[in-house]
Amino acid sequence: MKDLRNRLERLIDLATSDTVTVRLKNGQTAEVIEADLLDVLVEALTATREHRNICETEVLEIAKEAERGQSPLIDLVQVLLESLERYQQDQIEVEH
C-alpha cells in the first residue's frame, strides 16, 4: 500500500496544474492543463475496467491530435488509446 501511495504522489506531482501549449497534427496549437490530461488518463483506465467507451472531451480530442514528444502525459494517453482501440478491434473480430 505504501508503494501505491508513493506512485500516486508522483502522479500528482506530475500533474500539478501547469498549462502546456501543444502543437497539433494540423499545425495549430492548443493549451491544456496537465491536471486535465491526468483526468483523461484516469477516464481511459476507468472506461477500460468498466468495459465502456471513453467519454469524449475537448482535452481528449487535443491529446489525440497532438504531435508526439511534447508531454509525457500526452504520449501516455495516446499510447493507451491506441492500445485500447486495437484491443476493441480484436474483440470485435473474435465475436464474428
Q: Which three cell numbers stand for residue 5?
A: 501511495
The overall average pLDDT reported for the chain is: 88
Q: How confident is the model at residue 16 (pLDDT cuts 50, 70, 90)?
A: low
DSSP 38-79: HHHHHHHHHHHHTT-PPPP-HHHHHHHHBPTTS-HHHHHHHH
- Dist CA 54 CA 82 (whole Å): 12
- Dist CA 20 CA 30 (whole Å): 8
What would the pLDDT profile of 52-80 be if each residue is shown by its tens digit? 888 899 999 999 999 999 988 899 999 99
What residues does each domain of the chain span? Answer: 2-95
Number of H helices, E strands in the chain: 4, 2
Q: Tell me the pTM.
A: 0.74
The pLDDT value recorded for residue 18 is: 83
The pLDDT value recorded for residue 95 is: 83
